[in-house]
Each structure stands twice: as C-alpha cells, then as structure tokens.
Amino acid sequence: MIKKILASFFILLFIFSFENIFSSQGNNLNLNARSCIILDRTSKKILFGKNEYNKVKMASTTKIMTATIILENCDLSKTVTISKKAAGTGGSRLGLKTDDKITIRDLLYGLLLVSGNDAAVALAETCSGSVTDFANLMNEKAKELGLNNTHFETPHGLDSDNHYTTAYELAILTDYALKNSTFLNIVGTKNYTITINGYPKNLTNTNELLGSLNGIYGVKTGFTNGANRCLVTSCKRGDMDIICVVLGCDTKNFRSSDSTKLINYAFENFEYVNIKDLVNSEFNIWKESNSNYFSIEKGVTSNLEIDISEISSPIIPIKKDDISSLKVEFSISKELSAPLYKNTSIGKFIVYTSSETILEGNIISCQDINKKDIFFYLKDFFKNYSNILNNVSLNF
C-alpha cells in the first residue's frame, strides 16, 4: 500500500514538474486568443506565436494602416467638412455629424483613441475621394511592406470576407507605423481634447493597458462580431522593445489578460545578446587556428582573407535558460578554384542553442584572386631559371 502511495506521489510530482517546465517555456499560458504573436522590434524575431500566420478578421486594428496612409499623404492641419456618408457610419463612433468642421489631425485622434468609424470614412474620403480608392492605397502599402496575406476593403475594419490579415503581418505593419513620430505620439496618448466646429470634445483612449501596465506605449484596440476582441500592444522595458498582437479573444478581459501574460512572458524569459560580437570572437579564434587553410587551384596565391557577411540584426533576444548553450559553428570550403572574386560565399556559419537555431550567414572572400595565365607561368619559369643560374655561379 505504501509503495502504491509513493508511486502515485512521484507520478504527480513528475506531472507537476513537467507542467512547470512547459509553463516556463510559454507552452502553457492558457491563452484565449485564436491567434497571437510577440515580435521583437529590434531583431524582428518571433518570441512566441500561436496561429500567427492564419488569415483572420482584425476589426479596428485596421486603423493602424488607415492612420499610416493619412500620415504619409495628407496635411494634418487642413480642416475638412464631414460628408453624410461619413456621419452615417455605424459601429464605434467619434460622434461626427454631416457638415461638421474638423482638422485631419483631430480626426486621427478620433480614429486612434476612440476608434471612430465615422472618422475613418471621413479620412478616407479626404485623402482619396472614396472608401474604395482609399482601400486601394491601403493594399498598395501592404504590398510595399511585403504583407502578402493582408487585404483591406475599408478604413475602419467592419466585418467583410475580403478584409483580413495575420497576427504576424499586423505586427510587422505596427512596427512600421510606430516609426512615424506622430503616430507614436497619438497611440501613446491616454486623454486628448479635439475641436469640432470650434467646440472642445474630450477623448479617452480605448486601450485598457495604456497607463496600467509597465512599459506600454500604444497601440490599438478592435472589436467586431466576426473578429471578436483584438488588441495590438507595444511595450518597452529597458532595452527590450516588443509588439504583442492578440486576435479573436472572446471578451475584453481575455484580450487584456492574454496580452499581459504574453508581455510578461517575453520580458521574464528573454534577454538581448550581441550575436555579432559572439560570431566575430569565435571567427577570429577559428582564423588563428587555421592559418594557411586554403588551397586555391590555379590561383596566383592561396593567401585568402575571409570575413563574415553582414549581420542585419546584431542584437537578438535569446531565452535566458539557453544563453549558456550558445554555440557558433563554421563550415568553410578548403579546396577552391581560381578565379575567385571578392564577396564570393565560400562557407557558412550557424549560431544555435540547445533548443533552436538563432542565425545563419555566409563566410565571404575579401579579395579577388586571379587565375594563373601563360604570363604568370613564363614569369615563374624565368624566376626559377634565374635562381638556378645564380646557384650555379656561386658554386664556381
């Protein structure tokens, strides 16, 4: 009986430990979101993903693209007159009426803080003349940014079968949008007063995490019956800067709690590592241990200088538990043939940990090495012949 009890105890202990391991790795966050992602802004590395490449409706997170198009194409100080179509747009609203007068800048605050669908249509009409033409601009921008699984039909994101994105592409779009200082300032504003027809109107940001969770500085909420609750969040603590996207949550509380879980997971489990310094250090050690390494067939020399290719993201977040297992390996061709040109790839390097591949790149030649021609052989012949004659004369 005691043996059975002990056996049951150890089984339960093992299960508990196993669950804790998975929890620490982000596999047991108990997320409600249908799809989500954590994207590191510095390296563009995905720190966590769940169905991040699935095409889904995105509701008012659409307005991240709407604002981007306006900021890149319009004079924000311009005052516009609200059309009947814009004033009649349903869903979440700024409260615009037909013939209201308001600046484009204030429309942007109404778009991004209170998620005004009426403001979205007004901005689209001001920029392009119609919602359809504005959607074309949105899709052109999506193509420019490489968002191949994103398509827009409206500036507000009300449900439509051909209006969709992915969590990953929405994160990429958000990263781009945040590079605009005006966008960055607006989405980080908790309260703001706009003017409609000369009268003030106070706005409060619908982003429930802004001002309540450490490091949050944007970005945008969303809700439709088709998309459910959505939230795109940007957060920076210390040097680490991330974007968190949750799509398809059942309730506002779930989108808040999922976002909080993911954000805390990222900052608790990852740390920036200077991969470029690590690779360079290991590469210098390799070169010191492999002098006279190359044999270049028919080359005028075998003294080849080599280097690593450019590392586009030298700083990469690594799981803290994996940092001690970081390794760099080099695979470099020894037998080469002339002619050999500068920047030719002659090998590979790989950076990895016990759980993942971090980075791969090329080893490249730093110079041209010409192929021996007839003149080289003649010059070599006469040089050797001269040496023989000199040796003969010295013996006499």
Distance CA 52, CA 138 (A): 21
CB-based contacts of 37: which residues, under 8 Å, 6+ apart? 46, 48, 49, 50, 52, 167, 168, 171, 243, 244, 245
Check if 130 is active-site: no
Residue type, 289: S
Confidence grade of residue 11 (pLDDT, cut at 50, 70, 90):
very low
379 pLDDT band, cuts 50/70/90, is low
**Residue predicted with more confidence, 11 or 361:** 361
Query: Over 80: is that where the pLDDT of 332 sits?
Result: yes
Task: Return the pLDDT at 388.
Answer: 60
Best-predicted range by mean pLDDT among 25-34, 95-104, 305-314? 95-104
Q: Catalytic residue at 309?
A: no
Q: What are 327's strand-pairing partners?
A: 352
Among 35, 50, 57, 60, which one carries the catalytic annotation? 60
Query: Which domains, ranges and CATH numbers included, belong to the chain?
Result: 28-270 (3.40.710.10), 290-365 (2.60.410.10)
Confidence of residue 5 (pLDDT cuts 50, 70, 90): very low
DSSP category for residue 56? B
- Residue 55 CA to residue 88 CA, distance in Å, equals 29
CB 126 within 8 A of CB 111: no
Whole-angstrom distance, CA of residue 395 vs CA of residue 385: 16
pLDDT of residue 270: 97
User: Which pLDDT score is estimated for 23?
Assistant: 36
Confidence of residue 107 (pLDDT cuts 50, 70, 90): very high
Beta bridge partners of 350: 329, 360
Q: What is the pLDDT of residue 277?
A: 96
Distance separating alpha carbons of residues 364 and 341, to the nearest angstrom: 10
The question of whether 115 is a catalytic residue gets the answer yes
Dihedrals phi, psi of 50, to nearest 5 degrees: -140, 115
Give pLDDT, residue 394.
Answer: 53
Asked if 56 and 34 touch (Cβ cutoff 8 Å), the reply is: yes
Identify the active-site residue in 63, 261, 276, 319: 63
Which pLDDT does position 28 carry in this prediction? 80
User: Which one of 35, 43, 92, 115 is the catalytic residue?
Assistant: 115
Structure-model confidence comparison of residues 151 and 390, the more confident one: 151
* Rounded CA separation 362/343 (Å): 10
- % the chain with pLDDT above 70: 87
